[in-house]
Structures are given as C-alpha cells and as structure tokens.
Amino acid sequence: MQRTYLAFQRNAHLHTLQAAVTAVRSYASLEESNKALFKAALSEGDAEAEERHHVVVAEQTIFHPQGGGQPSDVGSMESGGGVKFSVSAVRMSAASEGEVLHFGQFLQNKDTVFQPGETVTQAIDAEKRLLYSRYHTAGHVLGAAVRRLLESEVAGFDELKASHFPATAACEFAGLIDGEWKEAIQQRVDEYVAKDMPVQIEWWDEADFRARGLERLIPDRKAMGMTNDEKFRVVDIVGAEVYPCGGTHVDSTKLCGQTNVRKISRAKGNSRVSYVLP
C-alpha cells in the first residue's frame, strides 16, 4: 500500500477535504496488529460490534491519527451518493508503513460501503481539533519554559515525552525537578503565552538542525521510515524552542489561552509536570 498523504501536516486549518478511497476493510478482516489498535473502541467479545465496524483508507487525509501525545481527530466521510461513514478513531497502520486507518461505522448499514476509487468528503470535528491543537502547542510552550529555566539547574536534564490528552496533559523530563520551581515555571509559561509568539511549521533536513546548533533534536530517519530526501516537519515557537513534531497546532502561543501548571511529581529519577487549559 502507498503511504497516506497527511494533508493536515501542510494545512491544519482544513476542516473538509475531498479524497479518493483506496480500501474499505471490515474490522474482522484486519491483521491482528491492526485489530489491537482499535480494541479499546469495541466491547470485548462483541461479535456484532466487530461486524458493524470498518476501516477506510484514502489517498490523503485531514484526520490526525493518534500519536505524538495527541488524540486522533474524529468526524465523518460522505460520498456523492450519500453513503456516510462516522469516524470515531484514527491510527497509523501497524502492518503497512505510512497507511492511515480511519475506524468507524457506515450509518446506513454495514453492507453499504464506499468503493475503491470513489471520492468522498472528509470532515473533522473542528471544535475538538482546536482543543487538541491548543493542548499540543501549550505542551510545547511548557516544555520550552522548563528547558529555559532548568536545563542548567537540574542534573541530567532532558525532555523525554509528553501527553497532550486533555485529561492527562503533562510533560516528562529526565532529572528531579523540585516542587519549589512550580511558580517560576508558571510565570515563564504565562510570559510565553502573553508574548503571542508565532508558531511556525517548517521542513528541515539534518543540515538545518546543525546550522542552528540543534543536533540533539535530529530524528532517526530509519526509525521513522523516512527516505534520505524527505525533510523533517518541525514546529518553531519563535523566540522559545523548536520541536520535531507531526501534530497540529494553533498559530500563536496566545491562542493556547491560560495554561495552568497543575503539579510537579517525581519518580525513578524523572519528573512530570502536568498542565490544564480551563
């Protein structure tokens, strides 16, 4: 299978998109590795639910698949003939590199499905997309604030990973961050949000990272399944920090809104700084 073109990475403001369907598969026919991606969306052992659910693959997509700490988009697809498909979860295929799987149900009946080659209109839930984008950018703002404050203050400091899910949003760091830093982190986050820093999407190769002294951020091409001539997508919070990132974002830090640092927790030599958007 060909890789799905990730249209949202080029224009995250697209809320609808026409795209050609390349495959429609029943959940029951999926590889076990792909079934596992959607098990949480099904009642265990519910054979009827397995029959009702399908996966749609298209040449391109505006749906962000879950990954990089960001939840997947949800929404719908509809053909010119009125066949409707409700998209409840989106994942990158575990069996075919670069293929995006749109999981859900056809609203008429399970036997009325899209045909390969048919053009459908994709539509995302714009309200959820905005919320997830705000959380994702806010997470990077928090990460930048903590790095600028503590990189030289905390032994073994490094940024590790993050969750931008609204209920569990947090950034994790190597090194032990004392709770007394919470107020200073909040002040720096507030400063970055108030400055209305532009959030720019750019495409870099290894030379671009090195030219900026950011060798530590160069992703592993092989691990990402990238060819030698592809460029890495990066998010530049101008004046703060750069992150290799495939997710969606708002256009400036001010659009994150009030970003509240909840608490700092520590375990096994690492620290977790959680945050929430009201």
The H or E element that residue 54 is part of is strand 53-58
Amino acid in the structure at residue 109 = N
DSSP count for the chain of H helices, then E strands? 7, 15
- What average pLDDT does the segment 145-161 reach? 97
- Residue 214's SS3 state is coil
- DSSP secondary structure string, 95-115? SSTT-EEEEEEESS-TT----
Termini Cα distance of the chain:
42
Rounded distance between C-alpha atoms, residue 254 and residue 257, angstroms? 6
Q: Do domains 5-124 and 129-276 have the same CATH topology?
A: no
Query: Domain 129-276 adopts which CATH fold?
Result: Threonyl-tRNA Synthetase; Chain A, domain 2 (3.30.980)
Q: Looking at residue 44, what is its pLDDT?
A: 56
Per-residue pLDDT of 215-246, as tens digits, reads 999 999 988 888 899 999 999 999 999 999 99
With a cut of 60, say whether residue 274 has pLDDT above it.
yes
Task: State mean pLDDT over 2-30.
Answer: 95
Measured CA to CA, the distance from residue 49 to residue 45 in angstroms comes to 9
91 close to 103: Cβ distance less than 8 angstroms: yes
Question: Pseudo-torsion of CA 174, 176, 181, 186, nearest 10°?
Answer: 30
Q: What are the residue boundaries of the structural domains of the chain, listed by start?
A: 5-124, 129-276
| CB burial string 4-41: b at 16+ within 10 A, e below | bebbbbeebeebebebebbebeebeebeeebbebbeee
pTM of the model: 0.95
Residue 133: pLDDT band with limits 50, 70, 90: very high
- In CATH terms, the fold of domain 5-124 is Elongation Factor Tu (Ef-tu); domain 3 (2.40.30)
